[in-house]
Amino acid sequence: MEAATERVPDLAAALTLGAARVEAALETLLATPEGPEAPLLAAMRYATLGGGKRLRAFLVLESAALFAVNETCAARVAAAVEMLHAYSLVHDDLPAMDNDDLRRGHPSTHRAFDEATAILAGDALQTRAFEVLAEPDTHSDAQARAELVAALAQAAGARGMVGGQMIDMASEGQTLTAAEVMRLQTLKTGRLIQFSAEAGAILGRAPATQRQALAWYGHDLGAAFQIADDLLDALGTTEETGKTAGKDEAAGKATLVAILGPERARAQALMLAEQAAAHLEPFGARAELLRQLAAFVIERRS
Amino acid sequence: MEAATERVPDLAAALTLGAARVEAALETLLATPEGPEAPLLAAMRYATLGGGKRLRAFLVLESAALFAVNETCAARVAAAVEMLHAYSLVHDDLPAMDNDDLRRGHPSTHRAFDEATAILAGDALQTRAFEVLAEPDTHSDAQARAELVAALAQAAGARGMVGGQMIDMASEGQTLTAAEVMRLQTLKTGRLIQFSAEAGAILGRAPATQRQALAWYGHDLGAAFQIADDLLDALGTTEETGKTAGKDEAAGKATLVAILGPERARAQALMLAEQAAAHLEPFGARAELLRQLAAFVIERRS
């Protein structure tokens, strides 16, 4: 495994490198065919390529590196997670959902194309994510591929991401407790981040205890990340974040920031980030970048 | 395998039995949890349970029976295909797509619930379909599970069902040739029917030639089925079919019936059904029900 020798100790550089790797994998996996499917692929590529922090991809790549997983295989899984994430953003932005015209500083997919195309592009991105995981190129052992599919589906489905989005929409304008908000966000964004951190252990056929440690890391990291995101939404500007600022409050969405206030929310995020890092103890120095990432997600400005 | 002794030689009875089996599997696989995800599950169940011909499920069950596949495993795959099919109908019916208020004689999902719920229920049904295929209960051999996921994804994705729907929407009001219509429909409905017929061979770890024979059978059956469906749309009533009659013509959709006229379209369907049955030759008398099905799909009245 080459990563051990070429590993960059600097998190910012590693994030950039990871983003470039997943971008290259996505380019290949979403290659445009000739023929009448081309417009659909164009929308899928628009929604997925060229942007985003690639946090989920980085978690896949770095957790896979802990187990010396082949980098091409890990990049395919990272790309699948980013496709799944992109599909959820495309559908969440639709007029019937969050009705958001802006994503990563650009028109959201249904604005750049049209609603029907955005619905179908999201659908096909989800399909492609599972297809990529199931293909032999992702792992020589079919057991690992089937496990990746099942674990991603659990994270993404009715008892995960989509269930969280459903609860989020149903809760608009309602008063939630801090515990209810935490649960909602664990489903809506946390489970996919958790899967991303676990994915390396699945690829590496790691012992259950190590997979569990990464799952807990991902769980706490995801919760910290979400609070940081809500702080940015509440306190940032549209220009800084590339998203419509203040949209949570405008939509009457419950966030920990609204319930606890910015200072206590920030303290909570810090606690979660420290807790996340503590779960990495079994991996020692090899997990240094994942450890740094936990600090980074609560400090970021966009 | 019990099916050999209890096999019903009558197609109508076998279809009813197959529908009951997949319904029971769907009931289990879409069990409603307590808690805030319940409304989403309710919409998923509404879209999937209690109706439809279950043609795709029947193809899975019958092709699996050719290889003496465990019936519980086959029913899980049949249920997964029906979930995938149901998700496609929910999204196709949306206002931004075909804007159809009626499905199987009942309000379509976005009318019975709301648009956001319908989008999310469709999303989660797709996820659940892949989850079910990947779970160990579906097959003891992970290789078969991974193959099922990859094959269903190919049939359902941008180069299959969703790609076909995209072309269908882009073609509205345009003049297509008969060949272009056939290609569109092969993608939009044919590929999933083809997968359903192939699924038994994947479950049964059948030789490639037998899997290919079933794939061709499914391909021709799907094409015949689609023409029969278009004939019903053009000539049937809303009351008979439980769908809005004449909607293809109203939407300016190209069908073989519109291009060739009803008589030549019917002759084409008959030819395809005979061709489909011919592909079953290697399976002899064991494929009798699948053979009968080919005749049935072009004779049905709803």
Burial label for B175, CB within 10 Å (0-12, 13-18, 19+), is exposed
Give the residue from A50, A59, A52, A282 showing the smallest Cα distance to A192.
Answer: A59
Helix residue ranges, H only, chain B: 3-6, 11-29, 38-48, 55-66, 71-92, 109-112, 115-134, 142-156, 161-170, 178-185, 191-203, 208-235, 238-241, 247-250, 256-260, 262-278, 288-299
DSSP code, position A103: E
User: Beta-carbon neighbour count of residue B285 at 10 Å?
Assistant: 6
Burial label for A53, CB within 10 Å (0-12, 13-18, 19+), is middle
Exposure b/e, B181-198, CB count within 10 A at least 16 = b = bbbbbbbbbbbbbbbbbb
Asked whether the beta carbons of residue B134 and residue A128 sit closer than 8 angstroms, the reply is no
Percentage helix, strand, coil, to 5, in chain A? 75, 0, 25
What integer is the mean pLDDT of A121-141?
Answer: 98
The C-alpha angle with vertex A67 and arms to A66 and A70, in degrees rounded to 5, equals: 110
The partner residue sitting opposite B124, judged by closest CB among A134, A162, A169, is: A162
Torsion angle of alpha carbons B264, B266, B270, B275, nearest 10°?
A: 60
Taking one residue from A and the other from B, the number of pairs with CB-CB distance under 8 angstroms is 157
- Which residues lie closer than 8 Å to B271 by C-beta, 6 or more apart? none
Q: How far is CA A155 from the centre of its chain?
A: 11
Asked whether the beta carbons of residue A41 and residue B158 sit closer than 8 angstroms, the reply is yes
Provide the token pair at A276: 């996340």
Residues of B in contact with A117 (CB under 8 A): 166
Exposure b/e, A181-202, CB count within 10 A at least 16 = b = bbbbbbbbbbbbbbbbbbbbbb
- Residue-wise pLDDT for B157-209, tens only, equals 999 999 999 999 888 888 889 999 999 999 999 999 999 999 999 999 999 99
* Spatial contact of B291 and B280, defined as CB atoms under 8 Å apart: yes
The partner residue sitting opposite A33, judged by closest CB among B39, B159, B170, is: B159
Residues of A in contact with B44 (CB under 8 A): 158
Q: Counting every residue, how long is chain A?
A: 302
Asked whether the beta carbons of residue A135 and residue B142 sit closer than 8 angstroms, the reply is no
* Dihedral sign of CA atoms A160, A189, A130, A136 in order: negative
pLDDT of residue A22: 98
The partner residue sitting opposite B91, judged by closest CB among A119, A127, A135, is: A119
User: Beta-carbon neighbour count of residue A259 at 10 Å?
Assistant: 17
pLDDT of residue A272: 97
Provide the token pair at A51: 């942007």
Q: Which residue matches tokens 């591929």?
A: A145
Nearest chain A CA: its distance from B252 CA (Å): 17
Q: In this predicted model, which residue has the larger pLDDT, A159 or B3?
A: A159
The answer to whether B91 faces chain A, any CB pair under 8 Å, is: yes
A58, amino acid identity:
F
Asked whether the beta carbons of residue A119 and residue B94 sit closer than 8 angstroms, the reply is yes
The partner residue sitting opposite A96, judged by closest CB among B116, B124, B133, is: B116
Which stretch of DSSP H or E encloses residue A173? none
Nearest chain B CA: its distance from A84 CA (Å): 10
Give the residue from A279, A284, A286, A181 showing the smallest Cα distance to A227.
Answer: A181
B150/B133 Cα distance (integer angstroms):
10
User: Beta-carbon neighbour count of residue A142 at 10 Å?
Assistant: 18
The CATH topology of domain B3-299 is Farnesyl Diphosphate Synthase (1.10.600)
β-bridge partners, A106: A103
A134/A138 Cα distance (integer angstroms):
7
* Spatial contact of A48 and A26, defined as CB atoms under 8 Å apart: yes
Residues of A in contact with B127 (CB under 8 A): 126, 153, 156-158, 162
In the stretch 180-219 of chain A, residues with CB closer than 8 A to chain B read 184
Residues of B in contact with A133 (CB under 8 A): 149
The answer to whether B178 faces chain A, any CB pair under 8 Å, is: no
The partner residue sitting opposite A97, judged by closest CB among B116, B142, B143, is: B116
- Which residues lie closer than 8 Å to B198 by C-beta, 6 or more apart? B63, B151, B211, B214, B215, B218
Q: In this predicted model, which residue has the larger pLDDT, A218 or A251?
A: A218
pTM score over 0.80: yes
User: Beta-carbon neighbour count of residue B31 at 10 Å?
Assistant: 9
What integer is the mean pLDDT of A115-125?
Answer: 97
Asked whether the beta carbons of residue A124 and residue B170 sit closer than 8 angstroms, the reply is no
* Dihedral sign of CA atoms A211, A51, A239, A15 in order: positive
A127/B252 Cα distance (integer angstroms):
29
Going residue by residue through chain B, which has 302 residues, state the pLDDT in tens, using 9 for 90 and above.
444 444 446 999 999 999 999 999 999 999 987 777 788 999 999 999 977 889 999 999 999 999 999 999 999 999 999 999 999 999 999 999 999 999 888 999 999 999 999 999 999 999 999 999 999 999 999 999 999 999 999 999 999 999 999 999 888 888 889 999 999 999 999 999 999 999 999 999 999 999 999 999 999 999 999 999 889 888 875 555 555 666 666 666 778 888 999 999 999 999 999 999 999 999 999 999 999 999 999 987 66
The answer to whether A114 faces chain B, any CB pair under 8 Å, is: yes
What integer is the mean pLDDT of A205-213?
Answer: 97
β-bridge partners, A107: A102
ipTM of model: 0.93
CA closest to A97 among chain B residues: B116
Contacts by A135-143, CB closer than 8 A, 24 or more apart:
A135/A76, A135/B150, A136/B146, A137/A72, A137/A73, A137/A76, A138/A73, A138/A76, A138/A77, A138/A80, A139/A73, A139/A203, A141/A205, A141/B142, A142/B141, A142/B142, A142/B143, A142/B145, A142/B146, A142/B147, A143/B142
